[in-house]
């Protein structure tokens, strides 16, 4: 039943196609009721474009009027801040190099040989200056000393006798001898006169007269001698004899002193306060002159000598405390002297510092020591933590300052940012305490390490467009932008 309609429609389609082909080929226009295909496709594209523009416009209007978007814009970010306080000076540590002054170290021995009989100090013992450390056998010297002392006593007695002069008994004996000789001489002279008279009368021979004459001369000589001795006793001892005897006594004294020196050299005494570092020999050893027995190291406080510029020396005072570093270890020290002479080459003066005595065992002479002195620099600026800065342009740095949200912010120092006045927002205009960020360019003058809450930290001394009392963000500046709304939290 349906075969006929299908055939009819098929035939109709074929006729239309044939008619269209014939019209196209003959140049006749298409029917007015159906536009061309390109027109239809162009109308469809324009309609779609209009639909998309309308949808975007509607979405924008809805977004602006959305309460969620308004809440996002009005959100305030809390930041840690620090109120700036101006500083007129800052200190820069300067390090000056010196060395540990040589401590005294001595190898002690005896100046003479002998048997070592006693060692009074062991290794590690502390001894005071003058304290005995070791002794030699000195019995032979002690015997010699006794002998010389006896000789001195004898010479001293003779000197005393000469100084006191003759005794009364000796004078009496001398006077009696003179009188006796005078009487004998007088008798001899009388007998000689008688013999001379007899000789003149021829009663005696010439020989008898000569015997009496000679006897008188002999008695006269003896009398002169006795008188001279008596005069000597009466005049006392001559000064030449006294000087000679005194010289004998002094010579014996010198011998005793020489023996005493040798006895002293038989004992080693500490030349200074020190510590016995080594013991070379033991008791019973026969040692030679100069052989080392004990090694002694001075126990005084070590000294450090550092060359410091003359301008810095004026800041050091004798008696003030300093810190000296040796092998990366700090030692407390005290300034004991500042030498006045200026080195012609380095233009520095030598500062002498004394370390604690406990550092003796840890330091060696000649070690390098470093003295750190804080030099005060006159410059106005502010201290900021390094976390408060971000890299700027032209070698400068940027810090963020909190300013009121309703005011115009200044242009950034690098000239690349100018914050414009914000439009009035009815949702946020009532918040008069709102703050925004403003960048300020600064220059770093000095950087130093410090301790914050027991932990190491770094801070910088800056100057620039900051003002006293500004609130500066101290951390998290990498996630901030100029003009951002924030609230202040005091930094620790």
Q: Give the per-residue pLDDT at 304.
A: 92
Strand pairing report for 368-385 and 455-464: antiparallel
pLDDT band, very low/low/confident/very high, at 360 (cuts 50, 70, 90): confident
Is the distance from CB of 327 to CB of 367 less than 8 angstroms?
Answer: yes
Query: CA of 454: how far to CAs of 92, 93, 401, 451, 457, in Å?
Result: 22, 21, 28, 6, 9
Distance CA 396, CA 391 (A): 7
pLDDT of residue 26: 38
Residue 70, phi then psi, degrees to nearest 5: -60, -40
Mean predicted confidence (pLDDT) in 366-382: 88
Q: Is the pLDDT of residue 247 over 90?
A: yes
* Residue 168 pLDDT greater than 70, yes or no: yes
Q: 25 pLDDT exceeds 70?
A: no
Whole-number Cα distances in Å, 105 to 26, 28, 215, 251, 295:
134, 133, 87, 39, 7
Q: Is the dihedral of CA 254, 259, 265, 271 positive or negative?
A: negative
- DSSP labels, 352-383: EEEE-GGGTTT--TT-EEEEEEEEEEEEEEEE
Confidence at residue 5, expressed as pLDDT on a 0 to 100 scale:
38
Lowest mean pLDDT among 198-202, 262-266, 383-387: 198-202
Per-residue confidence band for 54, with pLDDT thresholds at 50, 70 and 90: low
The pLDDT of residue 155 is above 70:
yes
More confident site: 2 or 331: 331
Percent of the residues in the chain that have a pLDDT greater than 70, as a whole number: 77
**Average pLDDT, stretch 80-98?**
90
Lowest-confidence segment of 34-38, 185-189, 205-209 by average pLDDT: 34-38
Q: What is the mean pLDDT of the chain?
A: 78
* pLDDT computed for residue 460 by the predictor: 92
CA 46 to mean position of chain CA atoms: 90
Indicate the angle between helix axes 206-235 and 168-201, nearest 10 degrees: 160
Longest dimension (CA), the chain: 248
Helix (H) / strand (E) containing 181? helix 168-201
Over range 125-130, report the average pLDDT. Answer: 88
Q: Give the model's pLDDT for residue 237.
A: 66
Cα distance between the two ends of the chain? 99
Cα separation, 47 vs 45, in Å, equals 5
What pLDDT is recorded for position 188? 80
Mean pLDDT value of segment 9-14? 35
Per-residue pLDDT, 347:
87
Residue 400 is given by DSSP the state E
pLDDT on residue 384:
92
Out of 35-44, 87-96, 407-416, 444-453, the most confident range is 87-96
Question: How many CA atoms lie within 13 Å of 8's alpha carbon, on the beta-carbon side?
Answer: 5
On the question of pLDDT at 344 being above 50, the answer is yes
Q: Of 469 and 52, which is predicted with more confidence?
A: 469
Degrees to nearest 5, angle at CA 48 with 46 and 54? 105
Question: Which residues contact residue 124 at a Cβ distance below 8 angstroms, ignoring those fewer than 6 apart?
Answer: 275, 276
Please answer whether residues 84 and 381 qualify as being in contact, where contact means their C-beta atoms are separated by less than 8 angstroms: no
469 and 84 Cβ atoms separated by less than 8 Å: yes
Between residues 318 and 62, which one has the greater pLDDT? 318
User: What pLDDT digit, counting tens, does each position of 271-306 carry?
Assistant: 988 888 889 898 988 988 889 999 888 877 788 999
Query: Tens digit of pLDDT for each residue in 402-435?
Result: 998 766 544 333 433 333 444 444 444 444 467 8
Residue 60, pLDDT > 70, answer no
pLDDT above 90 (res 479) = no
Alpha helices by DSSP H, 288-367: 310-313
Mean pLDDT lowest among 156-165, 204-213, 292-301, 370-379:
204-213
């Amino acid at each position: 039943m349906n075969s006929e309609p299908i055939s009819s429609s098929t035939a109709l389609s074929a006729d239309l196609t044939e008619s269209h082909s014939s019209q196209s080929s003959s140049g006749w226009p298409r029917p007015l009721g159906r536009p061309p295909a390109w027109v239809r496709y162009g109308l469809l594209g324009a309609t779609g474009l209009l639909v998309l523009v309308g949808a975007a416009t509607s979405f924008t209007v809805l977004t602006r009027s959305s309460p969620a978007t308004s809440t996002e814009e009005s959100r305030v970010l809390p930041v840690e801040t620090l109120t700036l306080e101006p500083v007129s000076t800052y200190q820069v540590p300067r390090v000056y190099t010196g060395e540990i002054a040589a401590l005294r170290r001595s190898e002690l021995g005896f100046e003479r040989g002998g048997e070592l009989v006693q060692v009074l100090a062991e290794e590690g013992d502390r001894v005071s200056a003058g304290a005995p450390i070791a002794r030699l056998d000195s019995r032979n010297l002690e015997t010699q000393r006794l002998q010389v002392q006896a000789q001195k006593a004898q010479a001293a007695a003779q000197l005393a006798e000469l100084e006191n002069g003759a005794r009364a008994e000796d004078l009496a004996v001398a006077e009696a001898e003179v009188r006796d000789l005078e009487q004998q001489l007088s008798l001899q002279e009388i007998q000689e006169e008688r013999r001379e008279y007899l000789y003149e009368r021829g009663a005696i021979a010439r020989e008898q007269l000569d015997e009496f004459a000679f006897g008188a001369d002999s008695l006269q000589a003896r009398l002169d001698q006795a008188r001279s001795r008596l005069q000597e006793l009466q005049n006392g001892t001559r000064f030449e004899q006294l000087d000679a005897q005194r010289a004998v006594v002094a010579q014996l004294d010198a011998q005793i002193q020489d023996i005493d020196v040798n006895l002293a050299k038989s004992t080693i005494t500490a030349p200074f306060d020190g510590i016995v570092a080594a013991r070379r020999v033991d008791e019973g050893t026969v040692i030679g002159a100069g052989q080392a027995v004990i090694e002694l190291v001075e126990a005084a406080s070590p000294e450090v000598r550092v060359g410091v510029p003359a301008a810095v020396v004026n800041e050091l005072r004798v008696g003030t405390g300093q810190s000296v570093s040796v092998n990366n270890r700090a030692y407390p020290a005290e300034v004991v002297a500042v030498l006045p002479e200026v080195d012609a080459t380095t233009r520095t003066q030598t500062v002498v510092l004394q370390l604690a005595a406990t550092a003796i065992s840890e330091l060696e002479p000649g070690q390098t020591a470093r003295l750190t002195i804080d030099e005060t620099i006159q410059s106005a600026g502010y201290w900021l933590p390094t976390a408060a800065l971000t890299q700027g342009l032209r070698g400068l740095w940027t810090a963020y300052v909190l300013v009121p949200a309703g005011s115009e912010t200044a242009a950034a120092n690098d000239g690349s940012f100018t914050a414009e006045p914000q439009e009035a927002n009815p949702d946020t205009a009532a918040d008069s305490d709102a703050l925004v960020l403003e960048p300020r360019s600064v220059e770093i003058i000095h950087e130093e390490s410090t301790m914050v809450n027991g932990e190491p930290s770094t801070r910088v001394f800056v100057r620039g467009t900051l003002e006293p009392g500004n609130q500066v963000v101290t951390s998290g500046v990498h996630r901030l932008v100029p003009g951002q709304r924030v609230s202040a939290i005091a930094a620790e």
